[in-house]
Structure 1
Amino acid sequence: MLREKTNQNLPLNAPDYLAWHVTQKGDKAYWNKVGAAWKHKDERGYTLQLETCPIDGRIVLRLPLEDAPDAANDAGRS
């Protein structure tokens, strides 16, 4: 079954957002995927599932990119 809302090519169990741990070193930002988030059925919250728990930097939720390679460091994000 396909999702009808935002990305029609994603399966229903695909996350609504990907969670990225972002650290800044000088002018360069390093993005590492650390988990994902799914919207609750009542649309009043999200479940965040982390594969790891960073102790520094920040966690950013972004919409998944269609047909994007699963890279450890995503240079296309800032």
Structure 2
Amino acid sequence: MSNQQNNSGSRSGINKPTMFGYVVRPIGNSGKSSWSKIAAAWAHKDGQGFDVRMDAVPVDGRLVLRAAAEDDQPLVENDGPAPS
């Protein structure tokens, strides 16, 4: 199946992920955690599943999925200059 069939959104534009996947690791004994974005997921049109692209595989096998917010940055950034 093609990405256009499985991804939600318009065919003419870039489809934004509906969820992002993170590896969550504890930082020492502070009770704080480090979140690293490693995946993006796009909902199927029928709402019964997701297409997931992972840039890494969690060593412990645990992936945390969170709904994408409007201000979430893309998983892969362009090669242009950084915004000032």
Same fold (TM over 0.5): yes
Instruction: Decide which structure has greater strand share.
Output: 1
Aligned 8 A contact 1:23 1:56 in 2: no
Structure 2 residue aligned with 1:42:
46
Q: What is the CA-CA distance between 1:35 and the residue it aligns to?
A: 1.1
Q: TM-score, normalised by structure 1?
A: 0.63
Q: What is the CA-CA distance between 1:32 and the residue it aligns to?
A: 0.3
Identity within the alignment, %: 36
5+ long unaligned stretches in structure 1: 4-10, 71-78
- In the aligned structure 2, how far is the partner of 1:22 from the partner of 1:54? 9
Highest Rg: 1 or 2? 2
Is it true that 1:20 corresponds to 2:22 in the alignment? yes
Per-residue CA shift, 1:22-42, capped at 9, x if unaligned? 112321111000010111121
Which of 47, 65, 70 is residue 69 of structure 2 equivalent to?
A: 65
Amino acid at match of 2:71: D
5+ long unaligned stretches in structure 2: 1-8, 75-84
Shift >4 Å, 4+ stretches = none
Root-mean-square deviation (CA), in Å? 2.2
Amino acid at match of 1:16: T
